[in-house]
Structure 1
Amino acid sequence: MKLSNSWLREWVNPQLSAQELADQITMAGLEVDGVEAVAGTFSGVVVGEILSAEQHPDADKLRVCKVAGHPDGEMQVVCGAPNARAGIKIPFALVGAKLPGDFKIKKAKLRGVESFGMLCAQTELELGDDSDGIWELPADAPTGTDLRDYLQLDDVAIEVDLTPNRSDCLGVAGVAREVGVLNRCPVKGPEIEPLAAKIDDSVAVTLAAGDACPRYVGRVIRNIDITASTPLWMAERLRRSGLRSIDPVVDVTNYVLLELGQPMHAFDLNKLSGGIKVRMAEAGEELTLLDGQEVKLKADTLVIADDKQPLAMAGIMGGLDSAVTESTRDIFLESAFFSPVAIAGKARSYGLHTDSSHRFERGVDYRLQEKAVERATQLLVEIVGGEPGPVHLRELTEVMPAERHITLRRARVSQGLGINLADDEIVDILTRLGLEKIEQDADGWTFLVPSFRFDIAIESDLLEELARVYGYNRIPSESMTAELSIEPRRESLLSQRALEETLLARGYSEAITFSFIDRDSSALFDPAAEPVALQNPISADLSVMRTSLIPGLCKALQYNLNRQQGRVRLFETGLRFVPAEGRELQQEPMLAGLAYGPRYAENWTGGKDWVDFYDVKADVEAVLARLGTQGEFRFEAGQHPALHPGQCARILRGDVEVGFVGTLHPQVQKQLDLPKSAYVFELSLDALGEARVPAFTPLSKFPEVRRDLALLVDADVPAASLLDCAVEAAGETLTDLKIFDVYQGKGIDFNRKSVAMGLTFQHPSRTLNDDEINAAVEAVIGQLKQKYNASLR
């Protein structure tokens, strides 16, 4: 919203400079983007009058003019403008004048004829866009008067960047009301007296979409003179507000929009067929807009139509077929209230943004329409004449916005603002803002909200208004004080960063992928889960929330392979989103990893072996080792829909599954177009639990004894089960147990395998004897034989 300082001062005139006023408006919540001069910098330009214009003797396109306006009398000026003629008033730059761009006017001789000055176009003074000829001023412009004084060009334009909730200030009247409240100044706008109807003509109006347009005001004006010129003062105010002068009718509607904040439109009455009908568009209807653009209307678009066709997109832009032209003699003025919900977003859906849509989608005063029509009629009659008909109001009371009554409790003022305001000051501020006090009791007041304040709905809004008008800078700043006790951090809590550092040290790189994936990927990796669908996805490829981090890492792997990166190690920490029947969506923190390519980075000593299942299992064991409780975790053969059925392991802590590790299923690998196998793991960070707090254990001074056993067991017996059984049978003196050989082949039954394990015994306070060690070994052999039919090889 841009308006000139001089125009605002006609409504309210506080004793502040333009910059001080801009600062005050900004502090009140109406941010000022800039204060700039309304005209270029020039001097020595007066109102001149061409007394005569004769053809230059030696140039077809030049005229020799006698111009009045110089303090020393008539001056001769050579001019090349096609509209230079006797009798018109024009800007006359005298010799010595300075024009924008630091251009100085000097005495000159053009084709042998002396010229004492310059006759200026709008563009040469930076006062408009017309460069086709010299600027013709009104006939009553006083000859010889300084042009800056005549046009009041020592003015500035204030550009206010309003937040969407302050639509009431999208007009001079609204900004003036704010300035008046802030400075306790009277606000006095133009006197708008209703004009008596001279004719009885009117146009029937039907409101077929009452929720979108519950109020419509129209008026017929006949016998206007469209050839009349827009007054210079009005054209200048439009220009200073960023609008171009077009013709008197359009200029008046734009002027009322800027002055009162009510968008209006004028139809050529003789181009209407029957009455006006405000309705929703029929899908596929076409309309040619004022800018020449042809649009196909959507069914959710509100239109102004006659009995035959749509005439305008309601609240956005009028149509070309019913527009006012040079031949127009009779017009129909409309001024309506359109629901913000009905207009919001509609202009953008057609690639448009207009001054009308900007206001209507934020909310226009729903009691302003008659006043706007009367003001426009007043201006039109003064400029183009005409015979106005009666003001015709059509209103659907049942769907009009309801009156809003808000109770402000006295105690809430000090509680919400931190200051104590006197009762009189509270009432004074709110009533000056336009609210009406309708009730008062011991606890507070009840106010009626004015129709132009869409943003005031609850008690907190009134507190905001009090703080804003009272002055944010007047409210004292106080530091909050509170007693905070520092809770000690448990040593058993292992940071997520420590787990990440372990993987970084093992050659992995951290990846960050989207929390949402496409539905096909979700079904590929987790077909049993029904992912949560996004209501407004960015794209079809990002339409559901992930139930695992693995799909994102696989997509990152594809991205790297497509860019010739053949060795990939990635990990990611993040949330997965698991729907739970009858409960809220579970958001579980996870750690996932992926390995692909050669085991080692390329070097002259390393081999070219490919990474395998046990490499990734070792990486997972290294992560679990950071907890200091690796003995509590175990790996068991498992099943996962996205992993190879023979190369998948569940990771358990006790009886709780904390994750899995394995090779991608061949079908998944084929669908992802991966040349070789990829290995993945995923761990639940919550399920990992707490780490073991380090504790000192003294080293034994006594010797350790090792015994090796080679046992024959069935081929399908897991090695981990053998170890668990041996630990249980060996007793407390067993300090280390490891499998150092597994053999299947010649000399052993096809259904059996040989497992060789080393048992290390040590006592902390004495030397173990052979009988004790032999007894422990026999116990191990006996237990393994009983449970797994093991026999010594």
Structure 2
Amino acid sequence: MKIPFSWLKEQVALTSTPAQIADDLVRLGHEVEGVELPRAGVSGVRVGQITSKAPHPDADKLSLLKVDIGEAAPLDIVCGASNMGEGDKIPVATIGTSLPNGLKIKKGKIRGETSCGMCCSETELGLADESAGLLILPADAPVGVEVGEFLQMEEAVFDLSITPNRGDCMNTRGIARDLAADANLPLMGVAPCTAEIDAAVSAPAVSVTAETDCPAYMARRIEGVKLADSPAWMQAGLIMAGMRPVNGIVDVLNYVMLYLGQPMHAFDADKLSGEINIRSAEDGEAFKALDGRELKLNAGDLVVADQGSVIALAGIMGSEDSGVSDGTVNIVLESAFFRPARVSETRRTYAMVSEASMRFERGVDPEMVATGMQQATKIITDLFGGVVGEITVCGNTSGINAGKQMHCSVSGIEKRLGITLPEEVDDVLRRMGFGILRHADKLEVVIPPFRHDVSIPEDMSEEYARVIGFDAIPEILPALATTAPAKPDRSIHDAVAGGFLQVVTYAFISEKEQRLFVPEDGCDIRLQNPISDAMSVMRRTAWAGLLNVAKHNLNRQQPGVSIAEQGRLYKNTEQGHDENNILAWLMSGEIEADQWHSSARSADFFDLKGAVEAWLAKRGLTGRFIADDSIQGLQAGQSAKILIGREEAGRIGKVDGDIAAAFDIDIPVFVADINLDVLHAGKKAKFSPLAEFPGVERDLVFLMEKAAFVRDAGADAIVQTVKKAGGKLLMDARVFDLYEGKGVAEGMVSVGVRFTLQDPARTLTQEDSDAASSAIIAAMDKRFGVSLRG
């Protein structure tokens, strides 16, 4: 928010410099992003009068001017403009002046003629983006005076970042109130103004159905308005305040809003039909906003409507059909107090931010509802004429946020801040509108109605802190009880060390995405006021977020994606909300680029399986991957559950092709996740000396039914059986071959198992090898009913 310094000085007699005011604002808790100095930017530019004009002897488009700037002798200036003549008064940048566009004026020669300055256009003065020639000043402009002073350019403009809790300071009066209280200066009252009522102008018919969301509403009809552009002084002020002039009526309402903090709206009275009603919208009701968007409203949205349609989304934006245009003659002014929470909910639903909504959702000053109406009426009739009707009033502003009291202790605030509270600080807060009464250690506070953000003792601690100054609070850490340091969680770090990039996605996803990987079982945690439909439920799967990240990267010509995320999943249970800490991986696309020695290779199931196994190995854990075709969202035949001991700890597999396509991904995608909360402590690595005696490696090839291998066995089950039967001498076992085809009966599959035996204390004999082989053959026959391939 931008505030011209002149506006502040109209409300409080400030004598400090802009730099000092900026420091005061920061101390009072208002972030100052910058201070613009428009007048300083044209320092050295003076009012000059052309005393003679002659053509340049060597250039058809240049003129030789003699310009009087109030010095002993006129200046010789070479000028390329053509819209000036003798006697005109123009801005003249003297030698040494630096203009807003960065140009520094120096004495020089142009086509052989000396030029001792520069005649300026509006563009060079920073007053416009483009101009057709020099800026011709009024005839009464005093020669030699600084142009910035004559044009009443702002001495300074403060660019403020108002914190969300200080809605009362989103206007000039709120900031002036804080500065006046801090400097012990009087705050100028708002000049009372009452428009002359014409009995021939009827008062608008208004009713309020949604009284909770709209406790006060005022409307007034003004007829015979001759709409024109707002005056130059108002447009200049609005531009300095960061707003674009629109038309006379809108500019007046914006000016009052920036000055007093009360947003208002004007309707074209001739476009309204019947009574105005402030009510809740019907589900699916149509609304075409001023910005051109066409909405289908939800039941409960607060709207302003006439007998035919919705004419405004209350506190946010008016309708296109009822808005003021160049042809408007009769208007209805609206000034109201809308419940902040309702405006905020509706604004988030439709992502429709406006200057009005930013103020209404933070809470406006109830006293300004009527004051703003009177001020706007007076300015409109003074500028554009018209006759005024009575104000229709619904509700009462006197009871809004009024009479709130709080009790706290002085010692409690002092303990929180670490400083004593001198009683003179109470006087500052009283000037800010608070009612402060001390009784020894007790503090009784009456909260002003415009301070919607103050309700608990901690809020008063902040008020005292900003008046005293945050710099005065000692930099001493509070005493804390000694606790054992938490063991660092390196889950995501180890995943990153394995070649994955860490990502962080939202904990909110769409219900549609949730259903891709989680069945509808009534356990979703739904947001009551989601930012959008795409963020309506708390996630129960991390895969949807990872797929969105993969889509984003693949669409930007990334050949492959390997990402991981550590986060939480959320679920409703009979005992309440449940959260699980998980680590999730995603692999898709190239993992090896084209090289001179090999071609590019894309990720497959076993790449991700290997990454998960390596991650588990760092924790001293071994995972068993058991085929499971029932995992929702994963492709049958390429999905498995991950067991750690007897506990199911995670899942892994290839994303179903249709689901990947729903994310606009047309290549295979592999995902996995591990529930970190169910992992037990792994075995600590121990050093074992290298064996001095050689090992023995043996191969066994079994013949088994293919259906049985797929259904009951699988590589993991076979390896576990071999390891269990091999005894203490068995060091390693793996499936090294899987074959079907020529030489193997139809419906059968040949499975090759390779195992290694070793004893660190002796050389193994043939008998040792045969005994282990016999035990393994027997175990395979017992578990799977298979025999050696002949």
Question: Which residue of structure 1 aligns with residue 391 of structure 2?
Answer: 392
CA contact (8 A) 1:205 1:394 kept: no
1:773 to 1:674, Cα distance in 2 relative to 1, 3 A: same
Post-superposition Cα deviations, 1:714-748, rounded to whole Å, max 9, x if no partner, equal 98797999999999999x98676979999999999
Q: How far is the alpha carbon of 1:11 from its aligned partner? A: 3.0
Question: Which residue of structure 2 aligns with residue 545 of structure 1?
Answer: 539
- Is residue 419 of structure 1 aligned with residue 410 of structure 2? no
Q: How far is the alpha carbon of 1:783 from its aligned partner? A: 9.9
Question: Which residue of structure 1 aligns with residue 454 of structure 2?
Answer: 456
1:31-46 correspondence to structure 2 within 5 Å: 31-39=31-39, 41=42, 45-46=46-47
Distance (Å, rounded) in 1 between the aligned partners of 2:468 and 2:774: 92
Question: Which residue of structure 2 aligns with residue 59 of structure 1?
Answer: none
1:131-170 correspondence to structure 2 within 5 Å: 137=138, 150=150, 152-153=152-153, 155-170=155-170
1:681 to 1:318, Cα distance in 2 relative to 1, 3 A: closer
Post-superposition Cα deviations, 1:193-246, rounded to whole Å, max 9, x if no partner, equal 455847545532344334336231647688x9989995x866765565456889
1:312-391 correspondence to structure 2 within 5 Å: 316=317, 323=324, 335-341=335-341, 343-344=343-344, 356=356, 358-375=358-375
Q: How far is the alpha carbon of 1:788 from its aligned partner? A: 9.6
SS of match in other structure, 2:459: helix
Question: Which residue of structure 1 aligns with residue 214 of structure 2?
Answer: 212
CA contact (8 A) 2:721 2:779 kept: yes
Instruction: Please tell me the root mean square deviation across aligned C-alpha atoms, in Å.
Output: 7.3
CA contact (8 A) 1:32 1:158 kept: yes
CA contact (8 A) 2:316 2:352 kept: no
1:30 to 1:779, Cα distance in 2 relative to 1, 3 A: closer
Distance (Å, rounded) in 2 between the aligned partners of 1:433 and 1:133: 48
SS of match in other structure, 1:208: strand
Post-superposition Cα deviations, 1:681-736, rounded to whole Å, max 9, x if no partner, equal 765555452222345779999x9999999999998797999999999999x98676
SS of match in other structure, 1:421: coil
Question: Which residue of structure 2 aligns with residue 585 of structure 1?
Answer: 578
Q: How far is the alpha carbon of 1:9 from its aligned partner? A: 2.7
Greater CA drift, 467-476 or 343-352 = 343-352
Question: Which residue of structure 2 aligns with residue 471 of structure 1?
Answer: 469
Q: How far is the alpha carbon of 1:22 from its aligned partner? A: 1.6
CA contact (8 A) 1:660 1:681 kept: yes
Distance (Å, rounded) in 1 between the aligned partners of 2:248 and 2:716: 94
Q: How far is the alpha carbon of 1:413 from its aligned partner? A: 1.2
CA contact (8 A) 2:700 2:753 kept: yes
- Is residue 262 of structure 1 aligned with residue 262 of structure 2? yes
Letter of the structure 2 residue corresponding to residue 41 of structure 1: V
Distance (Å, rounded) in 2 between the aligned partners of 1:773 and 1:136: 109
1:35-114 correspondence to structure 2 within 5 Å: 35-39=35-39, 41=42, 45-46=46-47
- Of residues 663, 672, 681 in structure 2, which corresponds to 1:690? 681
Q: How far is the alpha carbon of 1:419 from its aligned partner? A: 1.2
CA contact (8 A) 2:95 2:107 kept: yes
Q: How far is the alpha carbon of 1:500 from its aligned partner? A: 7.2
SS of match in other structure, 1:181: helix
TM-score w.r.t. structure 2 length?
Answer: 0.66
Post-superposition Cα deviations, 1:450-502, rounded to whole Å, max 9, x if no partner, equal 23223223332222111111111122221345464656979xx996756876x
Question: Which residue of structure 2 aligns with residue 181 of structure 1?
Answer: 181
CA contact (8 A) 2:219 2:335 kept: yes
Structure 2: runs of 5 or more not aligned:
56-66, 111-116
1:502-517 correspondence to structure 2 within 5 Å: none
Q: How far is the alpha carbon of 1:26 from its aligned partner? A: 2.3
Q: How many residues align?
A: 751
CA contact (8 A) 2:165 2:362 kept: yes
Letter of the structure 2 residue corresponding to residue 212 of structure 1: C
Work out which of the two has the higher radius of gyration on C-alpha atoms and give 1 or 2: 1
Distance (Å, rounded) in 2 between the aligned partners of 1:333 and 1:179: 32
Q: How far is the alpha carbon of 1:386 from its aligned partner? A: 7.3
CA contact (8 A) 1:304 1:313 kept: no
Distance (Å, rounded) in 2 between the aligned partners of 1:161 and 1:10: 22
Distance (Å, rounded) in 1 between the aligned partners of 2:95 and 2:760: 112
SS of match in other structure, 1:26: helix
- Is residue 25 of structure 1 aligned with residue 28 of structure 2? no
1:774-793 correspondence to structure 2 within 5 Å: none
- Of residues 639, 656, 660 in structure 1, which corresponds to 2:647? 656
Q: How far is the alpha carbon of 1:444 from its aligned partner? A: 2.1
1:159 to 1:440, Cα distance in 2 relative to 1, 3 A: same
CA contact (8 A) 2:181 2:429 kept: no
1:753 to 1:550, Cα distance in 2 relative to 1, 3 A: farther
Question: Which residue of structure 1 aligns with residue 435 of structure 2?
Answer: 436
TM-score w.r.t. structure 1 length?
Answer: 0.66
Distance (Å, rounded) in 2 between the aligned partners of 1:35 and 1:350: 34
Distance (Å, rounded) in 2 between the aligned partners of 1:97 and 1:445: 60
SS of match in other structure, 2:9: helix
1:285 to 1:729, Cα distance in 2 relative to 1, 3 A: closer
Distance (Å, rounded) in 2 between the aligned partners of 1:28 and 1:363: 20
Letter of the structure 1 residue corresponding to residue 429 of structure 2: L
Distance (Å, rounded) in 2 between the aligned partners of 1:386 and 1:555: 58
1:735 to 1:620, Cα distance in 2 relative to 1, 3 A: same
Letter of the structure 2 residue corresponding to residue 692 of structure 1: K
Question: Which residue of structure 2 aligns with residue 61 of structure 1?
Answer: none
Letter of the structure 1 residue corresponding to residue 582 of structure 2: P
Structure 1: runs of 5 or more not aligned:
51-55, 57-66, 109-116
Letter of the structure 1 residue corresponding to residue 216 of structure 2: P
Post-superposition Cα deviations, 1:740-778, rounded to whole Å, max 9, x if no partner, equal 999999999x999999999979797x9999999999999
Distance (Å, rounded) in 2 between the aligned partners of 1:557 and 1:347: 29
SS of match in other structure, 1:205: coil
SS of match in other structure, 1:584: strand
% identical equivalent positions: 24
SS of match in other structure, 2:158: strand
Letter of the structure 2 residue corresponding to residue 545 of structure 1: R
Distance (Å, rounded) in 1 between the aligned partners of 2:230 and 2:661: 77
Letter of the structure 2 residue corresponding to residue 159 of structure 1: D
1:555 to 1:722, Cα distance in 2 relative to 1, 3 A: same
SS of match in other structure, 2:443: strand
Letter of the structure 1 residue corresponding to residue 432 of structure 2: L
Distance (Å, rounded) in 2 between the aligned partners of 1:429 and 1:543: 47
Distance (Å, rounded) in 1 between the aligned partners of 2:494 and 2:121: 74
1:488 to 1:256, Cα distance in 2 relative to 1, 3 A: closer
SS of match in other structure, 2:29: coil
- Is residue 445 of structure 1 aligned with residue 446 of structure 2? no
Letter of the structure 2 residue corresponding to residue 26 of structure 1: V
Distance (Å, rounded) in 2 between the aligned partners of 1:193 and 1:305: 31
1:248-327 correspondence to structure 2 within 5 Å: 255-264=255-264, 277-279=276-278, 283-284=285-286, 300=301, 302-303=303-304, 316=317, 323=324
Post-superposition Cα deviations, 1:304-354, rounded to whole Å, max 9, x if no partner, equal 7599995998664697988597996x8776544444456558789999876
SS of match in other structure, 1:445: strand
Q: How far is the alpha carbon of 1:303 from its aligned partner? A: 3.9
Distance (Å, rounded) in 1 between the aligned partners of 2:16 and 2:419: 27
SS of match in other structure, 1:182: helix
